[in-house]
Amino acid sequence: MPSEAVARGGETLVMALCAELHRDGAVLPLLVLSDAPGVLGWEPAGGLAVEDESGRAYEVRALDRQAGLGALQAAVWIAPAPPPEARELRLAVSGLTRASAARGGGGVERELSGGPWELRVPLVPERTAVPPPPPPAGRLPAPAPARVPARAYAAFRGVVPIGQARLVDDAAVCLWALERYEDRGVLTVAALTEEPLQAAPITEGHGRVEVWDDRGGAYDVAPIHGASRPGWAESGLQVSPALDPAARALGVRLSDLPASGPRPGGADPLAGPFTFGVALGTAG
């Protein structure tokens, strides 16, 4: 389910990139950006409360967490699965911290001000899929080296909700969202597979992602981070330069996504290509 939910408070913002629904629960990918100095920290099990509009509460546990200076990513599992009649999930994030270096070694942890950060993730969202625009003539750009840091609080401009998936035998490829920054974007991709086939994050030379818009523009794409668990992989991809403000649609094509283990029947379900059309609306 696509989401563009963003909550700001103090020097910090929290965003929900999508809601990935499963038979027995859901995954909520969350991103935290802050101007506060230090490495960010958070424990979702005690710092995230989730309920739907009827007041039904959901259990929370962390699947993955990556923390750094000014940024933190977390994939959170909630259970049970939201029922068909649920219309939105209401999230309350608290307990975000930063750890700054102290003289003599060690660090001092302080709670960030501005919380709790409250977000509403729709379960009956607007459609984000459109026919993919035709790719520009000629070969699209090869991956370029990513710049660091790819995400920064001061450069954040908004989120393009996507929440689209392609299902193939024994696998699914999902586009979660595209974050917009002053001079670039960050696209998040997830791959789900049946064991023993194992998905892996996209890295340089392993997996190809191409992005273009409806005005003939083509974008460089480079991997910036990845995480994986059995049967699941997440990849963050820098898209540069910044999206054309006049563009109204993106084309995204993924092929030869990395995986390990035997392929059922010798086939490679992640070979693709998987092509998506993404509406950009009127966001600038």
Residue range 122-142, pLDDT digits in tens: 999 889 999 999 988 876 666
Question: 134 in a domain, yes or no?
Answer: no
Instruction: Note the pLDDT of residue 234.
Output: 93
Residues 272 and 160 in one domain: yes
Instruction: Note the pLDDT of residue 144.
Output: 60
Residues 163 and 271 in one domain: yes
| Token pair for 46 | 């005690």
Question: 133 in a domain, yes or no?
Answer: no
Instruction: Note the pLDDT of residue 239.
Output: 95
Instruction: Note the pLDDT of residue 284.
Output: 37
Provide the domain limits for residue 74: 2-122
Question: 241 in a domain, yes or no?
Answer: yes
Kindly give the parts of the chain with pLDDT less than 50: 282-284
Instruction: Note the pLDDT of residue 141.
Output: 62
Residues 8 and 98 in one domain: yes
Cα–Cα distances (Å) from 259 to 63, 171, 199, in that order, read 20, 11, 4
Instruction: Note the pLDDT of residue 283.
Output: 43
pTM of the model: 0.90
Only one residue has tokens 């005690």, namely 46
Only one residue has tokens 């994986």, namely 228
Strands (E), 169-229: 171-181, 185-193, 198-199, 208-213, 218-229
Question: 258 in a domain, yes or no?
Answer: yes
Instruction: Note the pLDDT of residue 146.
Output: 62
- Total tally of structural domains belonging to the chain: 2
Question: 166 in a domain, yes or no?
Answer: yes
Question: 148 in a domain, yes or no?
Answer: no
Question: 55 in a domain, yes or no?
Answer: yes
CB within 8 Å of 144: residues ≥ 6 apart: 220, 221, 222, 240
Distance (Å, rounded) from C-alpha 231 to C-alpha 198? 5
Does an H or E element contain 76, and which? strand 71-79
Residues 174 and 252 in one domain: yes
| Contact status, residue 237 vs residue 143, Cβ threshold 8 Å | no
